């Protein structure tokens, strides 16, 4: 979620602020610090603060690459700076369901004991974000995978990295609005 909001984890942000404070106060740093004193020599305060920010992003990126959480989102967005560097990006509830893979779909509800079955209304065994996005017959007429930047690999896996371009993402959002809008209508009937 933080990746989609473009916000660094709070603990890293706290550390960055602490270093910013120390640099401004001229506090000497130890070897275990992000920035050892030698690195400070000859640099302006502005350069030091920039360096600390880069170090924070590097740590954040390492954490994102090795995390076990948020792997649906990781399929779309590898670079932690993506959201801050792409101002066109935003998401609402429906696109969020496909970007995060949580919520409302039967597979997710079933895993948490909130639904009797993981089955989709189309008959497929499991309704999850990938099923809705790439397979489900109920949204066949709304779906254009190529336009959304989605590639199906030869081994059956799906590559969604191409969604994160301005034009492709627009189609992706339109699809998410139309598909989940239809899903809600059908589920109340
Ligand atoms: Zn289905």
Residue 78 counted as domain residue: no
Q: What is the pLDDT of residue 134?
A: 96
| Domain end residue (candidates: 45, 70, 95) | 70
Q: pLDDT band for position 1 (50/70/90)?
A: confident
Residue 77 counted as domain residue: no
Measured in angstroms, how far is the CA atom of residue 140 from the centroid of ligand 1? 10
Q: What is the pLDDT of residue 189?
A: 57
Residue 17 counted as domain residue: yes
d(CA 117, CA 113): 9
What phi and psi values does residue 154 have, to the nearest 5 degrees? Answer: -60, -30
Residue 16 counted as domain residue: yes
pTM over 0.85: yes
Q: What is the pLDDT of residue 187?
A: 76
How does pLDDT run across 91-145, given as a tens digit for each residue? 999 999 999 998 889 999 999 999 999 999 999 999 999 999 999 999 999 999 9
Which range is most confident: 142-146, 154-158, 184-188? 142-146
Measured in angstroms, how far is the CA atom of residue 173 from the centroid of ligand 1? 19
d(CA 172, CA 120): 21
Widest Cα–Cα separation across the chain: 70
Q: What is the pLDDT of residue 37?
A: 67
Measured in angstroms, how far is the CA atom of residue 54 from the centroid of ligand 1? 44
Measured in angstroms, how far is the CA atom of residue 138 from the centroid of ligand 1? 6
Q: Among candidates 76, 72, 132, 144, which has minimal Cα distance to 104?
A: 132
Q: In this predicted model, which residue has the larger pLDDT, 32 or 54? A: 54
Of 29-33, 49-53, 183-187, the range with the lowest mean pLDDT is: 29-33
Note down the domain range covering 37.
2-70
Residue 53 counted as domain residue: yes
On the question of pLDDT at 183 being above 90, the answer is: yes
What phi and psi values does residue 48 have, to the nearest 5 degrees? Answer: -65, -45
d(CA 154, CA 171): 24
């Amino acid at each position: 979620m933080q990746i989609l909001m473009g916000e660094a984890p709070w603990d890293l942000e706290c550390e960055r602020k602490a270093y910013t404070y120390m640099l401004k106060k001229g506090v000497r740093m130890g070897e275990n610090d992000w920035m050892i004193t030698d690195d400070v020599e000859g640099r302006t305060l502005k350069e030091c603060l920039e360096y600390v920010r880069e170090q924070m992003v590097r740590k954040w990126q390492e954490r994102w690459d090795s995390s076990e959480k948020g792997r649906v989102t990781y399929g779309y967005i590898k670079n932690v700076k993506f959201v801050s560097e792409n101002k066109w990006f935003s998401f609402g509830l429906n696109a969020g369901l496909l970007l995060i893979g949580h919520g409302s779909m039967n597979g997710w509800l079933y895993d948490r004991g909130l639904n009797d079955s993981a089955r989709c209304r189309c008959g497929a065994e499991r309704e999850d974000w990938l099923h809705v996005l790439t397979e489900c017959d109920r949204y066949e007429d709304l779906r254009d995978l190529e336009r959304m930047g989605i590639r199906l690999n030869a081994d059956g896996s799906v590559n969604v990295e191409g969604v994160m371009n301005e034009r492709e993402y627009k189609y992706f959002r339109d699809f998410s609005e139309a598909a989940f809008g239809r899903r809600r209508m059908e589920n109340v009937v």
